[in-house]
A and B are shown apart, each in its own frame.
Chain A
Amino acid sequence: MCTDCGCGDVNLVPLELQTRILAHNDGTAAHNRAHFRERGIFTVNLMGSPGSGKTAVLEATARAFDGGAKLAAIAGDLATENDAMRLVRAGIRSRAIKTGQACHLDAEMVHHELHLLDLKGVEYLFIENVGNLVCPAVYDLGQDVNVVALSVTEGEDKPLKYPTMFAKADVVLLTKTDLLPHLNVDVQIIYHALARVMPNPVVIPLAARQPGGVDGWIAWLTQRRSAPEQLAS
């Protein structure tokens, strides 16, 4: 009996659930992953701050892969299709996702685009996430690896300020290293910060427009695609 108003018996019944709130996204991500496995496509979720050099890395990756015929990309952006257009010019078949208000891509958005992409002959799919160091880390897209672009101009302590994203990274691309001679940046401090947030830090220095500037990244990528590690997770 409700003692306040005498409205009758109100029972409170607890219902134990313990369900992941993003279970629906996880299910769609698993579906995407099955698509990629079936087609032998190695998928990269490329994240990082706005302007950290994500699109520039992909342009350089296309050059390193003989014009990008075996590459595809999905580029997320709040408001423009500029990145997808840059990637198409670089030779990568690409689609844009304009997220509007959303600060991240989710598995549903990626699923929609992947069925609109011609994936014949594609070996690598790059998903350029929205420039943001927090939100994209929350949503599984079905990728094989998480890659975070961190430019040398962002400040040495960025990893400590955004630990979640770096903890989930399989590799960190330390971008714009061609600028180091002009800056007062101690790369060791960046490495130490990463070791406090990444259990197994792998850092590849990179300069997108220098000759040979992405060799380490291309080596890691091709090795990772052929390595049995990709079957884990």
Chain B
Amino acid sequence: MHEYSIVQSLVDSVAAAVGSREASVHEVHVAIGEMSGVDCGLLTTAYDVFRAGTLCEHASLTIERIPARWHCPRCDATIARGAFLRCIECNEPAQLASGDEIVLQRIELEVA
């Protein structure tokens, strides 16, 4: 389960963002795409186990799930879910417009 290594990278990214600020992390917002290969449930579990003793110990995790959207790179038509990944009009192979995100969107810091 690679969600543990994702959480490790997430905590490292948060630490880099906080830098030398005198602040504690209150909330962590991430975006996880449906096609990213990351399971949101496992990520939540891994986060809850792994955050102890890190600067995310008291920070809640909010996950925005991004659905997969395949589109035609020529005419931008959206490919229906479950259909062949090729535009019926242009015969172009589809491209993933969104849904592969593994992104740290923002954090909220508590400053006294």
A: residues with CB less than 8 A from B are: 8-25, 102-104, 106, 134-135, 137-139, 163-165, 167, 195-200
Binding site for A on B (CB under 8 A): 1-2, 5-6, 9-10, 12-13, 17, 23, 26, 30, 35-38, 70, 82-86, 93-96, 102-112
A–B Cβ pairs within 8 angstroms, 12 of them: A10-B111, A15-B108, A17-B105, A21-B103, A106-B5, A134-B2, A135-B1, A137-B37, A164-B35, A164-B36, A165-B37, A199-B85
From A14, A23, A199, name the one whose CB has the most chain B CB atoms within 10 angstroms. A199
On whether A200 and B93 interact (CB within 8 A), knowing A21-B30, A24-B12, the answer reads: yes
A interface SS class: mixed
B107 touches A163 (CB 8 A): no
Contacts A19-B103, A138-B38, A199-B85 given: A11-B93 contact, CB under 8 Å? no
> DSSP class of B's interface residues: helix, strand, loop or mixed?
mixed
How many contacts between A and B, using CB within 8 angstroms? 102
Task: Tell whether A199 pairs with B111 under 8 Å between CB atoms, given A19-B103, A22-B9, A102-B2.
Answer: no
Contact between chains at B9 and A21 (CB < 8 Å): yes
Report yes or no: A22 in contact with B6, Cβ–Cβ below 8 A.
yes
